[in-house]
Amino acid sequence: MNVTRTGTLRKPYEGIALFALLIGAIVGVLFIADNWSSAHTDKCALQLPLKWLGCAMAAHENLAGGLIAAAGALYAAWWAAGAVWQQIEDARAQIALAEQQREVVETDSFMRVISYYTRLLRSFEAAGGHEDIKYVNGLDALYKSGNLVPFFGSLPDDHRSLVRDVWERLSNLNYALVEARKVGQGGTGDLKTRNEINTSIGEVVENILANRELANDAVRHAKHI
C-alpha cells in the first residue's frame, strides 16, 4: 500500500507562509500604533524598514513584546496541531495497512480451505457404484489416499467450525464403517448399517459443497468482485 503523507509535504511551505503572515501582522499593528496612537507623540520617521521596525518596537516595547509572544504561541500551536494531524494520518495508514495485510492472509487461508474441500470431494466425485454404495466407496478412497486429515490454518471462527465439523463427521463415519464391516461373516458388514452410513456420508458431501461455495464467496468479497 502506498501511503501519501500530504501533511508532511505541505508543512515547510505552510510554515514559511504563516511566519511571513505573522511578521506582516506584527509590522502592521506597530505601524498603526506608531502613526495613530494618541498616547505616543514621538513617531518614528520613515526610514529603512529594519531601522523603522527597531524604532517602532523600542517605542512600543510592551505592545511589541505582546505581539511577538502571541505570534510565537500561534506558530507553536500550529506546529503542534500539524504534529497531531500527522500522527493521526500515520495511525490511519497503519490501520489501513494492517487491514490490507489481514485481507491478504485471510484470502490465502480461504484459498487453502477451498483446496482442502476440493481434495475431499475428489474421491467422492471419482467413486463408482450405485447410489446406496457410492459414498461409502468415496470415503474408502479418501481414507486410502491419505487425504482424510484435518485442516490446518487460520480462518474466521464460523468457517473454522465448518471445516472442523466436516473432518470430524467423516472421521467418525469412517470409524463406524470399519466397525460395521466387522459384523457378519467374512467382514461383509451389516447392509442396513452400511446404507445408513452411505446416506450420512452423502449429507456430509453436500455440506462440503456448500462450505466450499461459502469460502469462494468470501474470496470474491475480499477481492471486491
pLDDT at 148 over 70: yes
Looking at residue 134, its pLDDT comes to 92
Higher pLDDT, 26 or 215: 215
Lowest-confidence segment of 84-98, 133-147, 193-207 by average pLDDT: 84-98
Tell me the pTM: 0.56
pLDDT-based confidence at residue 4 (cuts at 50, 70, 90): very low
Mean per-residue pLDDT over the chain, rounded = 80
Residue 166 pLDDT greater than 90, yes or no: yes
Q: Is the dihedral of CA 122, 126, 127, 131 positive or negative?
A: positive
Q: Which three cell numbers stand for residue 173?
A: 463415519
Distances (CA, A) of 60 to 70, 74, 127, 145: 15, 21, 100, 95
Greatest CA span in the chain, whole angstroms?
128
Distance of CA 216 to the CA centre of its chain: 20
pLDDT at 224: 63
Tell me what percent of the residues of the chain surpass a pLDDT of 90: 28
> What mean pLDDT comes out for the span 20-49?
71
Give me the DSSP letters along 144-179.
Answer: HHT------S---HHHHHHHHHHHHHHHHHHHHHHH
23-27, 68-72, 144-148: which is most confident: 144-148
What's the confidence (pLDDT) of residue 192? Answer: 79
Between CA 136 and CA 59 the distance in angstroms is 104
Q: How far apart are CA 162 and CA 211, in angstroms?
A: 7
Mean pLDDT of the 119-135 span: 90
Cα–Cα nearest to 170, from 200, 127, 131: 200
pLDDT(9) > 50: no
Dump pLDDT digits (tens) for 65-85: 888 888 888 888 888 887 888
- Across the range 108-115, mean pLDDT stands at 86
Q: From the CB of residue 220, how many other CB atoms can be counted at a distance below 10 Å? A: 12
Joined together, the cell numbers standing for residue 36 give 495613530
Angle, helices 61-126 vs 49-59, to 10°: value is: 110
